[in-house]
Chains A and B, each alone.
Chain A
């Protein structure tokens, strides 16, 4: 399935992740022996092209933040590989990673917590330049001023402290810091979810403009589907550590195939009181990643009659239409769609790209 996905890009991907797993050990007992593991990310493959935004949606606890941190190696993957351009970064040591890090940066959800309150805004933005030994003092000074201007803050802001700013302005400071090293990829982890709507749109506009100007790729993680749809070229839907659907943004919203994607979309409140839609109400909650169901995780949640059959099935992402990937899971697809992606039938339903 991984090979199929690669072939959709004309240019080589900037980031490619293959069968990535991040498991956190759970220790218990007197000797704190590892008893089991939280399978936060459990076999994820995806690619991000240069200048592209890949959106990642899912509910809390589905592993989306863990995946975001792992692809920029803020976490060590348990298995699988992460290639950034031609470098395999999945098992590099911190010292070997450091020179590469300027290419991939991160923006966090809570700008208040990710900015050091004891540092001036200038030192915050300048720090990555110093670490990477870029520019003279005077050059860095000019560069910080340019960065502030680029994210819409006055130069005077540089001598102040982050706590003197509002949430939206702090997020601008976080973006300026991420931009300082002219990265090729920025992982944005819920960058607007702590902001009020009128400020949220200001930050989304800024991210779109920066992408146009610098050709940056974004890996944009959020739980708000409207926001993700707005900013993304392609969208991946994550459920309990796995990607269950991945397609161009317009396609996934117009023509979702996986039952979980359909339920997520129908749950978005509509802003038209006359069009109160019939919702697909899901029972229960996301199951625990400590002890995930043996078969289809979503089939288990919706108590699908075919669930027992899915135990032992690969349930991997399969291309159902050009560029549209969905987990081959009989519990979560219509019988017609299942017929198209059923193991053995792959390749018959569409021309292999």
Chain B
């Protein structure tokens, strides 16, 4: 599988667990997906579905000592990151794989100037002089369309607005020209007009630099606007995976359908009753081995307790084939 040259990243049956008072709880339960070169893959799901844990497992940035990767493979450019040494992974993290976090203020150090924070990353991964790194960092600020970059290099994070700070975080993520960028809710903390600026910027940088992006979000609108492929996660598992166009045109899993129908759009008639998904996600400790969406819908006892198979039901359209949740496809 690692010989496949079309994909920059392949995640195969990833299992990530957390040590808790109630024992070892599985936050990510055999998740598989791949990221093609120069494409954007969205991971969408509600809070606690394991989307961020999946992404942080890729760069092995889990809370320590509780977070543990217990199984699976993560092939990045042909090598298995899960078997890489700590020194190797440190080179990948911030170098070949850049990360954009949700909260730009938390991702930046408040007591260091912007210039130092951006050039530091470059010096960590490349053997260049301080002066050259500073110039390269200024160039990065220019690349993310920050006006007067030389001046901004001397600013502290609190001098900047939320949108400008997120541009700095993007500049840091891209500073070493990564092959893959993991963006964890990059626009959730931003206003809608600033979100549009940042998404536009990320799209333009992708076509200029040719990196792949994993975009983690709970916002299906952001997915529709930016992603080539989509991974829908529910309760630690992937329930559906296909191209963005196919997902919105022809969703197969009951959870995906429920999500799509529950968002009000500008076209929904005012004050009409919105479709809802009853109940809520069970806690990690209560997860069934069988179909977890059936568990939410209160029908976990009726059907088999076997885990539904994850199958390719039409070309490049994968879905968890639970007889209740995907009743419209042939088995």
List chain A positions with a Cβ less than 8 A from chain B. Answer: 53, 59-60, 166, 168-169, 196-202, 204-205, 208-209, 211, 223-227, 229-233, 249-250, 253, 263-274, 276, 279, 281-282, 285-286
Contact = CB atoms under 8 A, between A and B. Distances in A.
Contacts of B248: 271-273
Contacts of A230: 264, 268, 270-272, 274
A233 B271 CA distance: 9
B270 A233 contact: yes
Contacts of A205: 273-274, 276
A197 B232 CA distance: 14
Contacts of B164: 285
Interface residues of B, number: 45
A59 B271 contact: no
Contacts of A273: 224-225, 227, 244-245, 248
B271 A226 contact: no
A198 B220 CA distance: 12
B193 A226 contact: no
Nearest to B263: A197
B193 A267 contact: yes
A225 B197 CA distance: 17
Interface of B: 46-47, 161-164, 191-197, 199-200, 218-222, 224-225, 227, 244-245, 248-249, 258-260, 262-266, 268, 270-277, 280
Given A225-B192, A276-B224, A282-B197, 18 more contacts: A59-B193, A168-B280, A197-B218, A198-B276, A200-B262, A201-B263, A205-B273, A205-B274, A224-B192, A226-B265, A226-B268, A230-B264, A230-B274, A268-B266, A270-B225, A271-B224, A271-B263, A285-B194
Given A166-B280, A269-B219, A281 B197 contact: yes
B270 A268 contact: no
A267 B266 contact: no
Most chain A C-beta atoms within 10 Å of own C-beta, residue among B196, B219, B260: B196
Contact of B276 (A202, A227, A274, A285): A202
A337 to B, nearest CB: 21
Contact of B262 (A166, A201, A224): A201
